[in-house]
A and B are shown apart, each in its own frame.
Chain A
Amino acid sequence: MILIIGGAYQGKRAFARETFSLTEDDIFTCTDRGIDFGCRCVDRLEEYVFACVQDGIDPLAVFEADHAAWADSILICRDISCGVVPLSAQERAWRNETGRLCQYLAARADRVSRLFCGLEQRLK
Chain B
Amino acid sequence: MKIFLSGGAKNGKSALAQELAVRLAAGGKRYYVATMIPVDEEDRLRIRRHVADREGLGFETLEQGRDLPACLELADPAAAFLLDSLTALMMNEMFHDGQVDREAGERCIRDLTAFLNTVENAVVVSDSIYSDAGRYDEITELYRRALAALDCAAAELCDTAAELTAGQITIYKGELPQ
Contacts and interface: CB of A to CB of B under 8 A. Distances in A.
Interface residues of B, number: 26
A13 interface: no
Interface of A: 6-11, 78-84, 86, 91-92, 94-95, 98, 116-121
B173 interface: yes
B6 interface: yes
B155 interface: yes
Given A83-B132, A95-B133, A10 B163 contact: no
Contacts of A98: 133
Nearest to A83: B132
Given A8-B145, A9-B130, A117-B4, 18 more contacts: A9-B145, A10-B130, A79-B130, A80-B133, A81-B131, A82-B8, A84-B132, A91-B134, A116-B128, A116-B161, A116-B163, A117-B6, A117-B151, A117-B152, A117-B154, A117-B161, A118-B152, A119-B161
Interface in B89-144: 126, 128-135, 144
A117 B157 CA distance: 12
A11 B144 CA distance: 13
A10 B150 CA distance: 10
Contacts of A95: 133
Interface of B: 4, 6, 8, 126, 128-135, 144-145, 148-149, 151-152, 154-156, 161, 163, 170, 172-173
A82 B155 contact: no
Contacts of A82: 8, 131-132
Contacts of B151: 117-118
B172 A121 contact: yes
Contacts of B154: 117
Contacts of B135: 91
A118 B156 CA distance: 8
A92 B132 CA distance: 11
A59 B151 CA distance: 32
